[in-house]
Amino acid sequence: MRGPLAKDILNTAPPELRMGAKATKAYLDMREKILSGHYQTDQIIIPKDIEENYHINNNSTQLLILRLAMEGLIKVSPVKERSWPNNAAINEYRIADMNIRHRILSNRQGGFTVDISQGQKQSAIKEVQAIEVEYADREVAELLNIEPGEKVVFYRTIQKLDQETVIAISDTYIPFWIVEALPELKKPTTSLYQTMRQLGKKPTWCTETIDITQASSPERVAFKLSPDDPSPLIKIIRKVYNDDGEVLSVDFLTDRGDLYRLKYSFPLYAEDIPKQMRNK
Q: What residues does each domain of the chain span?
A: 6-99, 103-277
First to last CA, the chain: 29
Q: What is the per-residue pLDDT across 93-107, written as a single tens digit (0 to 9) for each?
A: 999 998 888 888 887
Please state, in angstroms and rounded to a whole number, the distance separating the CA atoms of residues 136 and 174. 10
What is the pLDDT confidence band of residue 1, given thresholds at 50, 70 and 90? confident
pLDDT the model gives residue 117: 54
pLDDT the model gives residue 83: 64
- Flag whether pLDDT at 109 surpasses 80: no
User: Is CATH 3.40.1410.10 what the domain over 103-277 is classified as, yes or no?
Assistant: yes
**Does the fold of domain 103-277 match that of domain 6-99?**
no
Q: What is the per-residue pLDDT across 143-155, written as a single tens digit (0 to 9) for each?
A: 999 999 999 999 9
Assign domain 6-99 to a CATH class. Answer: mainly alpha
